Amino acid sequence: MPKSFTVFLLSGVLMTGVLSCNKTGRIELAVDFSSASSWKYLLGVDIKGTASSADSSQTFTSSARVCLEGKAVAHDKGAVHFRVKDTRVASDFLSDQELENLKCRFEGMDLSFSPNEGAVYFPDTTAVPVINIGGWDLFRSFAKVIPVLPGSKVAPGATWDRERRFPIETTEGSATGHLYQSFTFDSIITNGKSPDLAAISWLFSYNIELQPVDSGTVLETMPKSGNGRGDAQIDLVNKRLYKANAYFEAAPEEKSAIKMGWSESVHLELIE
């Protein structure tokens, strides 16, 4: 499998607020990790793709399931610090020894998510495990399922968007990522037994702007654009991200001799 890069599809700022008593009017959508002393999420990621040339074609799949046990960060209001537990990894192109080594590297890892900056952080001494499919980084996938919430009260049907540029460090050099997200507040889910949930969905697209590189590098064969969609449910009473999903596809480079593309599905769910 060729060397590759990690695309930082960073989510954005999560705003805190309170729920209005008027369910038909405008409310402030809020996720606040400081609202509870501890958190536990199940994160699942599945990826599959194809790498093909004029005379051959190879398919590949990988998946991972981890438990994220988190606590609020005192010096960063709303932020959360997670430790990885109960790791399960599967891949059809890694040996048993490689899989066991990857599992050991995942287990016990630390990461922090800052709503104020919309980014995932790791200790400086941590080497982030990356599976060699488009720089697939399990923990960046966590950020993909955190929606960017508006900074003002909104009613169901409201839309908002965000455009962002961010640096990408690759094994072949530097690049710049361009991310566009379009969000919709779909509805309020009420069943009379549990807290009301806000249903949110979004579409996103990205493209990679490469810095000048030597011809023939791996970057020239890797996908440089893709599209995705996501959805999430937010507990409006307890200000919790209840569950979220994201899906995206990276399109093969048509002019490349080796065409590589993949799709990724991410699921995040709060464990009661």
10-residue block means of pLDDT along the chain (272 residues)?
34 31 70 84 88 80 88 76 86 80 76 66 60 55 77 92 73 71 94 85 84 54 80 91 90 71 89 78
| pLDDT at position 123 | 64
| pLDDT at position 155 | 95
| pLDDT at position 50 | 83
Q: Which domains does the chain have, with CATH numbers?
A: 33-270 (2.30.230)
DSSP for 108-149, please give it. T-EEEEETTTTEEE--TT-----BTTTTB-HHHHHHHTSPPP
| pLDDT at position 84 | 86
Mention every residue, 6+ apart, whose C-beta is less than 8 A from residue 212: none
Question: CB count, 10 Å around CB of 89?
Answer: 22
Helix residue ranges, H only, the chain? 96-106, 138-144
d(CA 204, CA 228): 5
d(CA 123, CA 63): 24
d(CA 209, CA 230): 24
Beta strand 173-189 pairing with 225-235 = unpaired
| pLDDT at position 135 | 53
